[in-house]
Amino acid sequence: MMRGWLVIAALLLGACEQQRAPLHLPSGEDYPELLSAWGVLEQRDGRLQPAAGVLPYDLNTPLFTDYAHKLRTLWMPAGSQAQYAEARFDYPVGTVLSKTFYYPRDAQGRLLRSEQQGAEAVELKRVRLIETRILLRQEQGWVTLPYVWDAAQREATLDWAGASFDLRLHDERGEVLAVDYQVPDANQCAGCHEEQAGKGVAPLGPKARQLNKDFAYAEGLANQLQRWQAAGLLQGLPRDLAEVPQNALWGKPRAGEGVQAQARSYLDANCAHCHNREGPGRTSGLYLDPDTPLGIAYGLCKQPVAAGKGSGDRLVDIHPGAPEKSVLSFRLHSTDPSIMMPELGRSSVHREGLELIDRWIASLDGEC
């Protein structure tokens, strides 16, 4: 009888161990070497998915990263909430944001080049996991931690120095794209996430305008911001969602989201974290954030600060009606590290994004 109780106790302890709460690390530098120690993701029934109490989320228009797909999650300590704001949410100390980069595989095991799709979980046999980035809110500010997945896809390990992978992506046309995928080191992570120069790291994606969309949760379709509020994770959300800004939905624009709304959302996601009035790219005088009116500051007929090779000998950042005369298009077309924009996060050209930007520039009226 005693032995039976011991077996039951062992099983219960094991269950508790598997269901432990995500790691709360409000201060200190004792960061786990293994991703699993954070407790925000779990592998179950052949899938990688958010752990209990962790919410998945998606963005209206995501950042392009060499066609990688992304599984995003949010966790906050019990009883804490983020404070709503149109620009940047105030996330509580202890918040953990995770972003797992992966590529889908076909039946032959080949990696696929396809547009990003938001998901609540991924089937491990159908994907190749590359990395998971942890963004941790501590008392002293945000910390970026890059974790690289092993070949067996069982665990990811903290790698401060980053890593690189030579990948071949196959598309529906039968074309193969060679990608030099770079896992950024911790300093590069921090550099991109410094949206306000000199004010430290901050989340870029999970803002009101990017989160204001429906997500297919296990329990059904729901607006993400309202779901966060219902879960007690967000306070201050306007009652009327019409008062909340909303970026265009990438790939499947909603009614009324024309080419300009799509293009500006794309530039917001891919460029505005540097190119805003407080960002690292502010000295260029080119501001691609949603608050900047469509005019000279947004690049229309604006002469670039960079000259020669960096501008492709083009005279203005955006030449209405002529993408072939626009520095913006030239830099998005390039994969030369001394020319390309964004400077980090891609080794290839985003075919679909570039087509959108060129189509938008071509639609603009006016002369320089």
Which pLDDT belongs to residue 196? 55
**Cis-peptide, bond into residue 238, ω within 30° of zero:** no
Last residue of a domain, one of 212, 241, 270: 241
What distance in Å separates the CA atoms of residue 44 and residue 87, rounded to the nearest whole number? 36
What is the pLDDT confidence band of residue 189, given thresholds at 50, 70 and 90?
low
Instruction: Give domain status of residue 12, yes or no.
Output: no
Q: Is the domain of 279 the same as that of 353?
A: yes
317-364: per-residue pLDDT in tens? 999 999 999 999 999 999 998 898 888 889 999 999 999 999 999 999
For all residues of the chain together, what is the average pLDDT?
90
Q: Is the domain of 209 the same as that of 112?
A: yes
284 pLDDT above the threshold of 60: yes
What is the pLDDT confidence band of residue 199, given thresholds at 50, 70 and 90?
low
21 pLDDT above the threshold of 70: yes
Instruction: Give domain status of residue 86, yes or no.
Output: yes
Instruction: Give domain status of residue 1, yes or no.
Output: no
158 pLDDT above the threshold of 90: yes
Q: Is the domain of 269 the same as that of 355?
A: yes
What distance in Å separates the CA atoms of residue 250 and residue 266, rounded to the nearest whole number? 8
Instruction: Give domain status of residue 312, yes or no.
Output: yes
120-130: per-residue pLDDT in tens? 899 999 999 99
**Structural domain boundaries, residue 114:** 19-241
Q: Is the domain of 171 the same as that of 264?
A: no
Distance spanning both ends of the chain, measured CA to CA: 89
Q: Is the domain of 281 the same as that of 151?
A: no
Q: Give the single-character DSSP code of 37.
A: G
- Prediction pTM value: 0.91
Give how many domains the chain has, as a whole number: 2
Instruction: Give domain status of residue 368, yes or no.
Output: no
Instruction: Give domain status of residue 247, yes or no.
Output: no
Q: Is the domain of 43 the same as that of 145?
A: yes
Which pLDDT belongs to residue 309? 79
* CA distances in angstroms from 28 to 32, 74, 131, listed in the order given: 12, 21, 23
What is the pLDDT confidence band of residue 207, given thresholds at 50, 70 and 90?
very high
Report H helices in 39-104: none
Q: Is the domain of 131 the same as that of 209?
A: yes
% of the chain residues with pLDDT over 70: 90
Taking each helix axis from N to C end, the angle separating 259-270 and 351-363, rounded to the nearest 10 degrees, works out to 130
Instruction: Give domain status of residue 248, yes or no.
Output: no
Q: Is the domain of 136 the same as that of 33?
A: yes
Which pLDDT belongs to residue 8? 36
Last residue of a domain, one of 241, 273, 288: 241
Q: Is the domain of 231 the same as that of 270?
A: no
Tokens at 68, concatenated = 């990688």
**What SS3 class is residue 219?**
coil
What is the pLDDT confidence band of residue 305, given thresholds at 50, 70 and 90?
confident
Q: Is the domain of 214 the same as that of 266?
A: no
Last residue of a domain, one of 206, 241, 276: 241
Proportion of the chain in helix, strand, coil states, percent, rounded to 5: 25, 25, 50
Question: What value does the mean pLDDT take over residues 281-293?
Answer: 94
232-282: per-residue pLDDT in tens? 999 999 999 999 999 999 999 999 999 999 999 999 999 999 999 998 889
13 pLDDT above the threshold of 60: no
209-234: per-residue pLDDT in tens? 999 999 999 889 999 999 999 999 99
Question: What value does the mean pLDDT take over residues 280-285?
Answer: 90
45-92: per-residue pLDDT in tens? 999 999 999 999 999 999 999 999 999 999 999 999 999 999 899 999
174 pLDDT above the threshold of 90: no
12 pLDDT above the threshold of 50: no
14 pLDDT above the threshold of 60: no
What distance in Å separates the CA atoms of residue 196 and residue 120, rounded to the nearest whole number? 31
What is the pLDDT confidence band of residue 5, given thresholds at 50, 70 and 90?
very low
Query: Which of 20-24, 210-214, 364-368 is predicted most confidently?
Result: 210-214
Least confidently predicted of 137-141, 156-160, 198-202, 276-280: 198-202
Q: Is the domain of 278 the same as that of 334?
A: yes
Q: Give the single-character DSSP code of 261.
A: H
191 pLDDT above the threshold of 50: yes
Which pLDDT belongs to residue 298? 98
Q: Is the domain of 224 the same as that of 169?
A: yes
Instruction: Write out the E strands in the chain.
Output: 41-44, 47-50, 55-57, 69-75, 82-83, 96-104, 111-112, 122-123, 127-138, 141-149, 156-158, 163-170, 176-183, 214-217, 220-223, 234-235
Instruction: Give domain status of residue 224, yes or no.
Output: yes
